[in-house]
Structure 1
Amino acid sequence: MSVNNNLEEYKDPDLYDLENEAFLEDLPLIVEFAKQVDGPVIELACGTGRIALRLADQGIEMVGVDLHEKMVSKAKEKANAKEIDIRLIIQDCTKLDLDIKSSFVFMVGNSFQHFLSNQAQDDLLSSVYRHLKKGGIFLFGTRFPSKEELMQPEEEEYWRSYHDAAGQKIDVYTVSQYDELAQIQTYKTIRRSKENDEITHIQLRYVYPKEMERLLAFHGFTILHQYGKWDKTPLTKESHSMIYICKKEKDD
């Protein structure tokens, strides 16, 4: 499955915002770097603009890129409503062809996991490298492949509950299955209300820390920092995330 047909979770941008807009743990670290650079900041897999719009609203020159037309349309709608100046582009992040280079590129929301094959990861990192200036920073996060994360039950497991825009309670359940050879977790998400069940599927690739070190080095990046949380907590075996701050040392 490619990124292009792994998009069921994003078919409803309003639902996506309802479930994700309030998450802001990653914002302070991103702002820290974004405010250090001149010129445009590029967010890859920007979605509906959860982070990009907040940065642009602070006067940071932003370019947001995403593959999903509905998500980008929602981001544009939100930007127009708040009169936020931002450039939003529909492109495949593995085939970036922007007319700019940046000193800071970032990708959050565990979007790195959507690049399921070695080739897709290579193409993504090559695209990032081409669009970074010498000395530029690439910041991204992905889930840590802990035992707890990978050994989830293959039967329905309760995850969380929330109320939708109409005030209806939604209970969310997941079913997961991990393919050890491909390092891919297949998730089935069930959003259960009194009326019906809404079901989506998604596949996510996991990368181990040593594997990531080799991958980034191969593509010309030096790891400046590796964290286990967005508050700069060190990465440990108990971590749920891996956050990388990388530098492009050489020019093209």
Structure 2
Amino acid sequence: MADKELSEIYWDGRHYDLINADVDKDIEFYKRLGRKYGSPVLELACGTGRVTIPLAEAGFDIVGLDISEPMLDFARKKAKARNLKIEFVNADCRNFNLSRKFKTIIFPFNAIAHLYDRKDIDACFSCVRKHLHEDGIFSIDIFNPSLKILMREPQKRFFVGEYDDPDNFGKVAITETNFYDDATQINHVKWYFSVRGKEVVRGFKMRMFFPKELDELLFYNGFK
């Protein structure tokens, strides 16, 4: 099997959910947000439905949008197993048209970090504005960059976590390296998945947003 194929195995919906099994503290926040501003709710970059499904179970009319069809397939299977009817849409958050407006639009769990430049950000925010009810809210969850992490030695590995492989191959350990390009504000990350003496490498990028920067970008795009 080619390295790319191996890499995809360790980035499918099952592995994603296991890697993030302990990430759930934001669910109650989104429930409170939904109760305050109302349905319908649109989740951008919904992935495997980590947030979408609990909100649907809580009674919210919610749509999940994501660019990854494999992730959405896994989300649909999870929703079906819970007898939930959720609309999952395969679309790019920079260019979508759902022909309806939403009172609550959420962009959870650092997903906005995968919009790498101003053109991407403006395109996404433009779509959000077109879909947001005039009395609605747009909520973004993004971490403040850690200079300690951004200034790491590029070749030095750091422990991320571990989980049990869903195909019973044993314990999977994840370590990472990263290189930060301050000219583009992009952090280039590599995750190393180690199991049974073998290693799979998966690279991804994350755009860093510094304090007040998002405020200015939102204001520029017409948000209050």
TM-score computed with the length of structure 1 as normaliser? 0.81
What is the rounded CA distance, in whole Å, between the counterparts of 1:173 and 1:9 in structure 2? 17
2:72 alignment partner in structure 1 = 72
> Aligned pair 1:138/2:99, yes or no?
no
Task: Give the match's secondary structure for 1:197.
Answer: strand
What is the rounded CA distance, in whole Å, between the counterparts of 1:59 and 1:167 in structure 2? 38
1:94 alignment partner in structure 2 = 94
2:214 alignment partner in structure 1 = 212
Amino acid at match of 1:116: Y
Map Cα deviations across residues 141-189 of structure 1 (whole Å, 9 max, x no partner). Answer: 1121221231123122222223223261122110100001000000010
> Aligned pair 1:178/2:180, yes or no?
yes
What is the rounded CA distance, in whole Å, between the counterparts of 1:13 and 1:204 in structure 2? 20
What is the total number of aligned residue pairs between the two structures? Answer: 216
| More off after superposition, 149-158 vs 15-24 | 149-158
Following superposition, the deviation at residue 32 of structure 1 comes to 0.3
TM-score computed with the length of structure 2 as normaliser? 0.91
Are 1:10 and 1:71, in contact at CA under 8 Å, matched by a contact in 2?
no
> Aligned pair 1:157/2:158, yes or no?
yes
C-alpha distance 44-9 of structure 1, shift in aligned 2 (>3 A)? farther
Report 1:23-172 matches (<5 A). 23-155=23-155, 156-165=157-166, 166=168, 168-172=170-174
C-alpha distance 114-10 of structure 1, shift in aligned 2 (>3 A)? farther
What is the rounded CA distance, in whole Å, between the counterparts of 2:223 and 2:146 in structure 1? 25
Task: Give the match's secondary structure for 2:24.
Answer: coil
C-alpha distance 10-33 of structure 1, shift in aligned 2 (>3 A)? farther
Are 1:65 and 1:90, in contact at CA under 8 Å, matched by a contact in 2?
yes
Q: Which runs of 5+ in 2 are unaligned?
A: 1-6
Amino acid at match of 1:14: R
| More off after superposition, 33-42 vs 116-125 | 33-42
Are 1:168 and 1:193, in contact at CA under 8 Å, matched by a contact in 2?
yes
What is the rounded CA distance, in whole Å, between the counterparts of 1:21 and 1:160 in structure 2? 11
Identity %: 30
Task: Give the match's secondary structure for 1:93.
Answer: coil
CA RMSD of aligned residues (A): 1.8
Q: Which runs of 5+ in 1 are unaligned?
A: 1-6, 223-252
2:193 alignment partner in structure 1 = 191
